[in-house]
Amino acid sequence: MLQIYNTLSRSKEVFRPIVPGQVKMYVCGMTVYDFCHIGHARVMIVFDMVVRWLRASGYEVLYVRNITDIDDKIINRAIENGEPISALTNRFIDAMHADSDELGLMHPDQEPRATDYIAQMQGMIGKLIENELAYQADGGDVNFAVRLLPRYGQLSGKSLDELNAGERVAIVGGKRDPLDFVLWKSAKPEEPLDTRWASPWGEGRPGWHIECSAMSCDLLGEHFDIHGGGADLQFPHHENEIAQSEGALYGKDRKDNDAPFVNYWMHNGHIRVNEEKMSKSLGNFFLIRDVLKSFDPEVLRFFMLKAHYRSPINYSDAQLEEARAGLVRLYTALAQAPAKSNSLDAHNPWAKRFAEAMNDDFNTPEAIAVLFDLASEVNRAQDAEKQALASTLKSLAASLNFLQRDPTEFLQAGSKQESGLSVAQIEEQISERLAAKQAKDFAKSDFIRKTLLDQGVVLEDKPGGTTEWRRA
C-alpha cells in the first residue's frame, strides 16, 4: 500500500485517493523568462517519476503543471530586451519543452498558462473580498489579510508571529500587516500595455500566489489529491495557496469536517553545489542544456533519482560520473541476454521488493538497490536463466524510465566529456587485434588491448572469438 510523506502532517500517510483508482495532481511549474536549470530538472524528473509509478500501480492520473507567464521578472526581462511579453515567454516555453524532451520526460496532461486564467483569478479575488479576507490598499493593490485567517501557517508549522514575509512578498505602503500578500497588483504607468488587464480594482495583473490557486481549482476542483513542488515553495507560496483557496471556499473558518484544498503536499529537496543551495543569486546554477552537452540525459535522471526525492543532493561532475558508472553496471548486465520489458507478476520476488521500496514514499534509492542486486544475479546466472532475469530487470527499470535503450548503444556511447576514440578507430584496432591473435602474435594482441584500455575502451572476449567492447 502506497505511503506518501505529507508535508502538511509532517508524517507518512497511507495514500487514499478522493476517487478510488483516480489521482489528480498539480505541480508548480516554471516562470518562463530564462532557460531551465537543474533545479527545475529535479522538479520535472521527480514528479515524472511519481506519475509513472502511480500509473504503473494502476491509477488513472491527471497531471497538471502550470506555466507562470506573467511576473515581475518576466516584465523586467522583456523591457530589457525590448520585446513583447508573449515573444519572451513563448521562446522560453519552447526551450523548456525542448529540455524536457531531451531528458526523456512525459509532458503533463495539462499545462495551463497563467495569462489564460485571469478571469478565474479575478473571481477568486472577488470571493476573498466578499469573505472579508482581502482588501484594496491605498495604492490600488488588493492584498490578502493574513491575520484574519486563524489556520494560516499550518503548512510551514509556524505561528503568525514566527513567520516572515518571504522573499517574494514586498513590504510596501498600503498594507495593513507586513505578512499580507498581494492578490492583484495595480499597474504602474511605466509598465507596458501587455502586462495589464482590466479589473474591478483598476488595471493591473495577478499576484504570483493567486495564479496557482485559480488554475489548480479550475482544472482539478476545489479539493484534489496531490500538490507538489520544490521545498522552497512550501513558504510562502504553498502556504498562501492554501489560504486563498480555502479562504475563498470557506471564509475565515474552515471546519474540521470541511474538505481541505489538498490532501497530500509533496516537496522535493534542494540541489546544492559545493554544499551551498543552488541559486541564481549565488551564481552557482547550471542550465539543463549545458549539463546535457557533457552528460547523457539518462545519467542526469539516474543521478536525480539515486537520492530520495525529499533529500537535498549535492551536484558535481564527479557525482554525475558516478551515476554513469552505475548505469554502465546495469546495462552491462542487460547486454548479456536479450531482454524484453514485460508486465510483471506482483508475486515475483524482485517485483515485490521493488514495489515495497517505491510504495514507501517513492523510495527510489532502495528501488535502484533492487536493480543492482538483480543485475548481480544476471551476471551470476547460467545462460538458461539470464534472459528471464534480464527481462525482469528491464521491466522493473521501465517504471523509473531507465534501461530501455539498446545496451550496446549506451555502453559504446561513453561519457560526452571524453574526446576519446571514434567508433571507427576502435573497430579498426579491434580488427588489428583479431588479426594478431590469428597470427599467434599475442604480444601485439595484448598491447592493443592495453592501449585501448588506457584510452577508456574495455574489450570483452566471447567464446568463438567474438569481441565486444564498451567505454569504461
Helix axes 208-220, 239-250, angle to 10 degrees: 60
- Nearest alpha carbon to residue 121 among 227, 198, 191: 198
Q: Is 237 annotated as a binding residue?
A: yes
- Strand partners for 11: 6
What contacts 121, CB < 8 A, 6 or more positions away?
A: 114, 184, 206, 210, 211, 213, 214
- Cell readout for 201 is 480594482
Q: What share of the chain is helix, strand, coil (3-state, %, to 5)?
A: 45, 15, 40
What's the rounded Cα separation, in Å, for the pair 21 and 467?
50
Q: Is 28 annotated as a binding residue?
A: yes
- Strand partners for 360: 3
What's the rounded Cα separation, in Å, for the pair 397 and 371?
7
What are the distances in angstroms from CA 388 to CA 224, 343, 346, 385? 40, 12, 15, 6
Query: CB burial class (10 A; 0-12, 13-18, 19+) of residue 65?
Result: buried
What's the rounded Cα separation, in Å, for the pair 284 and 290?
13
What's the rounded Cα separation, in Å, for the pair 261 and 248?
11
Phi-psi region of 410 (alpha: psi -120 to 50; beta: other; left: phi over 0): alpha
How far, rounded to the nearest angstrom, does the alpha carbon of residue 129 sit from its chain's CA centroid? Answer: 35
Q: Is 280 annotated as a binding residue?
A: yes
Q: Enumerate the known binding-site residues.
A: 28, 212, 237, 241, 280
Q: Enumerate the known binding-site residues for ATP.
A: 280
Q: Enumerate the known binding-site residues for Zn(2+).
A: 28, 212, 237, 241
